[in-house]
Amino acid sequence: MSFREILARLCFGWLTVFLGGIAASAAERPDVLFIAIDDLNDWTGCLGGHPQASTPHLDRLVARGTLFANSHCAAPACNPSRAALMSGLRPFASGVYDNGQPYGGPLKDVMTLNRYLMREGYKVVGGGKIYHGGGGLPGENETDWHEYFNRGGDPHPPVKSISGLGMAHFDWGPLDAADEAMGDYRLVSWASEQLQKRHDQPLFLAVGFVKPHLPWYVPRKYFDMFPLETIQLPVVKADDLADVPAAGVKMARPDGDHQAVVTRDQWKHAVQGYLATIKFLDEQIGRLLEAVDASGRGDKLLIVLWSDHGWHLGEKQHWRKFALWEEAARAPLAFIVPGVTRPKTRCDAAVDLMSIYPTLVDLIGLPIPEHVQGPSLRLLLENPQAAWERVGLTTHGRGNHAVRDRHWRYIRYADGSEELYDHRTDPDEWTNLAGQSEHAAVIRRLAAQLPAEEAADAPREKAKPKADRRAKKPRPARAAEKD
Ligand SMILES: [Ca+2]
Ligand SMILES: [Ca+2]
């Protein structure tokens, strides 16, 4: 073969690769079903966070691929968690640390996941709750989503507070309403139509469930599935806060929600309400799964499912999210990737939700934008036992962080105080080991994962007149932590 022939063959080879690359772009890319859930902790069948949790449909969906059983949110609150995972910027990079800081300004010029996929030729449609408070950035939806579905509200009971606590949406009880009246039911009906439609571009379909967010009002049949006399409370240690530093006790706020719940004998009612609302959510996931199967897209549909953070129901005398312990930080995460994941796979490597953006674009075959923080999980999807040195990192307010690896949770508050828990012997995080010198090396290793620099707080929204009035009441105002 002459030199010229060799050169010609080489050029032809490269041309084939190059053209192949182009052919694989756009039309060849997989459809993506992006399932977001609001406030679902590990009370699922597959994660086993509560013995009575019943989620057969979610478990069935997750069993088609890889469950990340040790995954954690970037921030334990709706707004910063979602802003971070959709933008690729952690709270300490964007300055969006809590629910009172609108993400619109800080993310104005950021290549968010939905913008990126739109630019790369995807049909980008969403519905329900993806970002905190709806779809894209206020007033800029046309650059963020081709279409966005507003699921509308949910029915309310005739009384203001079923529990008698009188604490706004921190309430629970049965509704005399049909499933069809619920916003998440309409969301699935809409999503099912999107799955049936022919789209001439690859589809990015974001389905944002609002339940099991408060209030826990769902049709009565779901409450009937969990009779009050059968309800098991979370296992707790009475003096669990005794070894928690003051900054942690302040986050737990034992004299707030917990005292109100216990005083009014509402603990079992609340657990019942959360279990019932999760069961309702699971029914909707079952409907979505049926639509997926009916669409015939299964073999080229990439599915990711996540919840924005966990939830406490009295562990450490704490309720809601807004804390750095396992219950608030741990959040379901699963990927179903045809040709990559295998069914019924569980991965125990420590990860966090910042990996959703880079993993998706990596799997689709797009470059990961430079600003995106967090590693792609492709390696773990291909081999769940692969060596993994990364950690799950959770930030709650400037300067407060938790680092989770396979065995440990390390927490450091802005004032320098610390907690350390060994999950091999203490899965409930009852015994704070931070003061024990034999763990100094572990703490040093985990503390090295904390950011060296942290962005200043993004501007807070101005309090509405109603919130001003509320703030004057004796109950401590927590405008920054509104659900
Ligand atoms: Ca949430
Ligand atoms: Ca303790």
Alpha helices by DSSP H, listed for 235-348, are 246-252, 259-263, 267-295, 326-329
Number of H helices, E strands in the chain: 15, 18
Question: How many CB atoms are located within 10 Å of the residue 10 CB?
Answer: 10
Question: Which residue numbers are catalytic?
Answer: 78, 132
The C-alpha torsion from 257 through 260 and 261 to 263, rounded to 10°, is: 150
* CA 308 to ligand 1 centroid distance, Å: 5
Query: Minimum-distance ligand to the CA of 133?
Result: 1
Q: Could you tell me which residues come within 8 angstroms of residue 116 by beta carbon, excluding any fewer than 6 positions away?
A: 361, 366, 369
Whole-model pTM: value is 0.91
Query: Minimum-distance ligand to the CA of 433?
Result: 2
| CA 255, chain centre distance (Å) | 27
Each of the 483 residues of the chain gets a pLDDT tens digit; together they read: 444 544 444 444 444 444 444 445 666 899 999 999 999 999 999 999 999 999 999 999 999 999 999 999 999 999 999 999 999 999 999 999 999 999 999 999 999 999 999 999 999 999 999 999 766 665 566 779 999 999 999 999 999 999 999 999 999 999 999 999 999 999 999 999 999 999 999 999 999 999 999 999 999 999 999 999 999 999 999 999 999 999 999 999 999 999 999 999 999 999 999 999 999 999 999 999 999 999 999 888 999 999 999 999 999 999 999 999 999 999 999 999 999 999 999 999 999 999 999 999 999 999 999 999 999 999 999 999 999 999 999 999 999 999 999 999 999 999 999 999 999 999 999 999 999 999 999 999 999 999 999 999 999 987 655 444 444 433 433 434 456
* CA 206 to ligand 1 centroid distance, Å: 16
Distance separating alpha carbons of residues 326 and 355, to the nearest angstrom: 19
Query: Minimum-distance ligand to the CA of 240?
Result: 2
H or E, element range at 218: strand 216-219
Exposure string over 138-177, b if 16+ CB within 10 A, otherwise e: eeeeeebbbebbebeebeebeeebbbebebeebbbbbbeb
Q: Are 182 and 210 in contact (CB under 8 A)?
A: no
Distance separating alpha carbons of residues 284 and 354, to the nearest angstrom: 26
What values do phi and psi take at 280, rounded to 5? -60, -45
Give the start-to-end residue ranges of the domains of the chain.
29-394
* CA 431 to ligand 2 centroid distance, Å: 5
* CA 36 to ligand 1 centroid distance, Å: 10
Q: Are 277 and 216 in contact (CB under 8 A)?
A: yes
Output the six-digit token pair for 298. 């299964």
* CA 235 to ligand 2 centroid distance, Å: 13
Pick the CATH number of 29-394 from 1.10.260.40, 3.20.20.70, 3.40.720.10, 3.40.50.300: 3.40.720.10
Q: What is the DSSP string of 136-176?
A: SSTT-GGGT-SEEE--------SSS-SSS---TT--EEEES
